[in-house]
Structure 1
Amino acid sequence: MVSLKERNQVEFQQKLQANMKQNHIDVLLLTSQENIFYATGYSSKFLSLMKQPGVAYAIVPAEGTCKLIINNFEKQTADLQCKNIDIIQYDSWIFIDDGEEKSDKKTTQMNLNQSYQIVQELISKISPTPVIGVEPLSLTWKLTEQLYSDYGADHVIDVTNELLKVRVIKTEWEIEILRHAAKLAEKATQLTAQELIPGMNEFDMNAIYRKHIDALDNHAINTTLVTSIGPNYSAPFILRDYALKDGDIVRLDGGVNYYGYQSDVARTFVIGAHATEEQQSKFDALYEGFSKGLSLVKPGVRLADLFETVNGTIQKVGIPNYFRGHQGHSIGVSAFSEEAPFIAPNQDLVFQENMVFCLEVPYYSTKGGYNIEDEFLVTKDGIERFTQANESLNWPS
């Protein structure tokens, strides 16, 4: 079984540092959970819950070892899960009777002043006038002002797109994780669909899905199943009580988090496996665009061209008013499974070997929510499909 133990931290560090040198960046100051994990191999529980910059930091120097700055309560886990990084702890409100803690003063919550002081000390050892790459979307205005004051606004630059460029080409370990996560989500979706009967609701669906995920591989966490049932096509946070009826369209869309990586597959089907001609016709148009798109993917193909093929085919063969902002996305460590780059208009990026993408063709109306979505790996001359979507609404039968 693939796990964090096989993750080669040095490989990730070298990828980041190669990009830094190309862009003349002295240090990355990472504040999002996803990029801290990508750079260090550690995903902070407290940062995921509190969503407050400074709860955890990763510092990546242009040369040398990545640094993780984490609170005293999480440091033990970081020590167990990470290798080939430097881990520095700061104080929190939590007392740990480990024979070493001596302070009789505690902050009410995380000591974010201390965590930032550690950042300052580490950066000062890298350069007296560093160019610092940051993630603006995961900074507070207060922290941004502090960085501008300490280092100068012209020395603090946005590296969001550069980080995405690094992350979009996957390592062999990442490919194994993503392949397994996709297949796991696909199997759980199929097993869930087989159990659904009239009278069930979204609470039942999610419980059944979680049951199957746990039975298949209990290392998967944070199931993200977005459902459409009957006329209820929009995405709920608090699940709905609508009871399934025979003939209802059902869309099961999403996956799991597996060792920090997401999966995202979608299946659409009819309760009772007796689709009407109108329902199947809609599905067939979507499937034709989906299949046409998959057949064209290979290194060198522009993402924008694939979008035009998929969207245009669907319009031509059955849904003339169909149009979306994108027809798929890269997938990796982002907590929201849809991560850039997107299969979208004006996206000049071309597919490259070892990218992992989702292709999808969602359609929503009060007559039912549809989506066909699979994950695939771009190979040197085509693709490896991680999953295989159903060709009929009368599924699974």
Structure 2
Amino acid sequence: MPLSPPLTTSHFNFVLPRARRYMAQMNINALVLTKAEDIYYFTAIASFFSYQFKPSPSSIIILYRDDSIPTSIILNEFEAASTQIALPTYDLFTFPVWVDVDDPSDLTSELSERPIDAPIELMLKQLQKALSKAGFSTGVIGIDSQSLVKTHYDLFHSVLENYQITDTKLLLNHVRMIKSELEIQLLTRAAQITETGINEAINKLDVNVSHAELVNAYQKGIHQFHDSQNSRFHIISIAEHFSPIYHPSGIKTKMGDLIKFDCGVEVRGYGADLARTAILGEPTKQIANLYDIILQSHLAMLDEIKPGLSMSKLFKDGIERIRKLGLKRYNRGHFGHSTGVSLALEEYPFISEQSDACFESNMVMCVETPYYGKGIGAIMIEDMIRITSTGIELLSHNPRTLTIVTPSTT
């Protein structure tokens, strides 16, 4: 089974000039990035240390506004020994960790004492060395301050005391909200695999099936595919137990239960997020009416989306529509968000009343219309879409109607 393609030159040719344009607009000379997903986005280096050993930074990259200066990459010696770096030009700096990589051909070099963790002080020395080699002694440096705990932020700040420090959150939000063609390909694949997993879980549905069994069916569905590393999340809810359950549970289904599947698979660092709803047996009149309201509003929102439309207008129209259809107290903070490499699952921009963004071509958005009711359960429809020059392209294709499952026994 073929794997999805890795991030390559075509991706870098899209994202690097885009980042540098925003750096120029914000008068930032260099970005010092420590989050795993930011490092991956700009270099295709999926550092295991950075992804797993949060919140302590384990790798650093420095992206310079001047494109004649190679990107500085600071990795531990263990990962640097075998990491294939896809960037056409870069400068690599390394620091030791507890793992030693032996060179059988070298029997003369002295052995040095190994640390027991990823030493941030040694990493910061390499940061200073990289800036010096780049000839970059003054200017404005952008740091994602929210990704660093205060102790680490203070250490970075002390090392960079000769520079003006600014936050990169706004810049990174705007750079990443428009996707490269390769990103769209990966997100499309993630959506396809997620839908397969949801379908497998729905096929498992019956009376007296546990939440753990549904999670297991979903996991089996997605792991048929070699490029689905993991499920970023899977919020499978049964009836009134609609708050997210982190660990598999023994809660079991019964006749008439609504079951919500809100799930997302990751493919090469890019995560899907979509949702569908099923019911065991025929819905009551109340549930059928609720679902019809949610479905009508969801489809109307999808029809309304086009480049130039403000996300705040779509949100206001959605709230007004649902209330006019009969759910007069319907309330919600947002109707969806972007998705991509962020480990926080939901990325800027959001379809909310406070949003300052408009839809643009080649955004990938997750448009969701949920309802949660005490004594009723959860209803949710969420689609992944690509914004085109005239409207949208659906990346999720499972039916949006309520899936009615006939139990094998009643």
Structure-2-length-normalised TM-score: 0.91
Match of 2:6 in 1: 4
**Matched position secondary structure for 2:83:** helix
The runs of 4+ residues in structure 1 deviating greater than 6 Å are: none
8 Å contact 1:79–1:87 — kept in the other structure? no
Alpha-carbon separation, structure 2, partners of 1:328 and 1:5: 26
**Aligned equivalents of 1:371, 1:326: Cα separation in 2:** 13
Residue 44 of structure 1 aligns with which residue? 47
1:315 aligns with 2:323: yes
Residue 259 (structure 2) pairs with residue 213 (structure 1): no
Counterpart selection for 2:312 from 281, 288, 304: 304
- For residues 197 and 102 of structure 1, the distance between their equivalents in structure 2, rounded to whole angstroms, comes to 65
Whole-Å separation in 2 of the counterparts to 1:153 and 1:203: 54
Deviation at 1:351, TM superposition (A): 0.5
Q: Secondary structure at the match of 2:229?
A: strand
Matches within 5 A, 1:326-365: 326-365=334-373
State the one-letter code of the partner of 2:385.
F
* Separation (CA, whole Å) in 2 of partners of 1:394 and 1:149: 57
Mean CA deviation greater in 78-87 or 346-355: 78-87
Cα shift at 1:82: 6.1
Give the counterpart letter for 2:28 in structure 1. I
Conserved 8 A contact 2:4-2:268: no
Q: Distance in 2 between matches of 1:78 and 1:365?
A: 49
Q: Counterpart of 1:199 in 2: which secondary structure?
A: coil
Which range moves more in the overlay, 327-336 or 92-101?
92-101
Q: Match for residue 93 of structure 1?
A: 98
2:244 alignment partner AA: A
Structure 2 unaligned spans of 5+: none
Q: Tell me which residue corresponds to 1:145.
A: 154
CA distance in 1, matches of 2:205, 2:92: 47
Please, which of 16, 19, 24 is the counterpart of residue 21 of structure 1? 24
Do 2:215 and 2:248's aligned partners in 1 also have CA atoms closer than 8 Å? no
Query: 1:327 Cα deviation (Å)?
Result: 0.4
Distance 1:259 1:349, change over 3 A: same
The residue that corresponds to 1:261 in the other structure is: 270
Of 65, 70, 75, which aligns to 1:65?
A: 70
Instruction: Say yes or no: does 1:111 pair with 2:113.
Output: no
Structure that is richer in helix per residue: 1
Q: Distance in 1 between matches of 2:171 and 2:138?
A: 21
CA distance in 1, matches of 2:256, 2:60: 51
- Give the fraction of aligned pairs with identical amino acids, expressed as a percent: 28
Q: Which residue of 1 aligns with 2:38?
A: 35
Find the counterpart in structure 1 of residue 332 from structure 2: 324
User: Structure 1 CA distance, aligned partners of 2:110 and 2:70?
Assistant: 29
Q: CA offset at residue 396 of structure 1? A: 6.3
Matched, 1:78 2:89: no
2:365–2:385 Cα contact (<8 Å) kept: yes
Question: Is the 1:42–1:82 contact (alpha carbons within 8 Å) kept by the matching residues of 2?
Answer: no
> Would the alpha carbon gap of residues 385 and 222 (structure 1) be closer, same or farther in structure 2, given more than 3 Å must change?
same
Cα distance between partner residues in 2 of 1:16 and 1:351: 19
Aligned-partner residue type, residue 402 of structure 2: L
Structure 2 equivalent of residue 229 of structure 1: 238
- Does the alignment pair 1:203 with 2:205? no
Q: TM-score, normalised by structure 1?
A: 0.94
Question: Residues 7 and 197 from structure 1, CA distance in 2 versus in 1: closer, same or farther, beyond 3 angstroms?
Answer: farther
Q: Greater CA deviation, 298-307 or 138-147?
A: 138-147
Distance 1:154 1:112, change over 3 A: closer
Indicate yes or no: 2:184 matched with 1:179: no
Q: Which moved more, 1:44-53 or 1:178-187?
A: 44-53
Q: C-alpha distance in 1, partners of 2:295/2:245?
A: 25
Alpha-carbon distance in 1 for matches of 2:9, 2:205: 38
Using the TM superposition, give the Cα deviation of residue 14 of structure 1 relative to its aligned residue in structure 2, in angstroms. Answer: 2.2
- Between the aligned partners of 1:375 and 1:266, the Cα distance in structure 2 is 9
**Partner secondary structure for residue 372 of structure 1:** strand
